[in-house]
Amino acid sequence: MARLPGLGPRSAQRAVLFAIKNENSFLEQLINDLITVRDHIRKCKHCGNLDCGDICSICLDVKRDAHQLCIVESVADLWAIERAQFFHGRYHILGCVLSAIDGVYPEHLNTKSLVARVNADRITEVIIALNATIEGQTTTYYIADVLAGLGVSVSSPAHGIPLGGEFNYLDDGTISAAFLDRREVKLSKVKVA
């Protein structure tokens, strides 16, 4: 348990003691759930999402826009975007981002399958939604370069001030990114309280 990400030895000990103490109401169910995960969860052959089949429910959903593709680093990032319920296209999970320290180079990104998918699915728009870290941004530029010339619109989410954020509490990098990504104030959209 202590080897699980996010759990140190003390938290792991608390979790194990809780499980032992609640053998009937918790531990049995946990064991069954873990067996279900082991036996049924698969990596989607199209996007890399996790689901109970070879093709995930997002890729199978005909109501989603098959020509809009969002590139994310991990399944957790996909789930975060899905929670917000505004994106109705499909995904491509990279699994990693470029990082010299971690030994991740362009050949590890498997961009061949990405390019093949963009062509095969006649993708018209690609949104590269990688973390706002140096590695994430380097990877964004690399992928944008790979996709250049394929006739797709390539964008990435804006960086800057979070909703409800106050300048006084933001770091320098966030403030400068927000100024660089500034946009015109559209008067028609402004509602004065």
Binding site for Zn ion (CB under 5 A): 44, 46-47, 49, 56, 59
Minimum CB–partner distance for residue 78 and Zn ion (Å): 9
| Residue among 28 and 61 whose Cβ is closer to Zn ion | 61
Q: Which is nearer to Zn ion, 21 or 45 (CB)?
A: 45
The least distance separating Zn ion from the CB of residue 43, rounded to whole angstroms, comes to 9
Least distance CB 123 / Zn ion (angstroms): 14
Reference 98, options 150, 144, 152, 153; nearest CA is 144
Distance in Å, CB of 70 to Zn ion, minimum: 12
**Measured from the CB atom, is 47 or 143 closer to Zn ion?**
47
Q: Which residues are CB-neighbours of 93 under 8 A, at least 6 positions away?
A: 47, 48, 49, 71, 72, 73, 74, 75, 77, 78
Q: Which two tokens stand for residue 148?
A: 């250049």
Whether 51 contacts 44, CB under 8 Å: yes
Which residue, 47 or 118, has its beta carbon nearer to Zn ion?
47
| Kind of pairing between the strands at 42-43 and 50-51 | antiparallel
DSSP 162: P
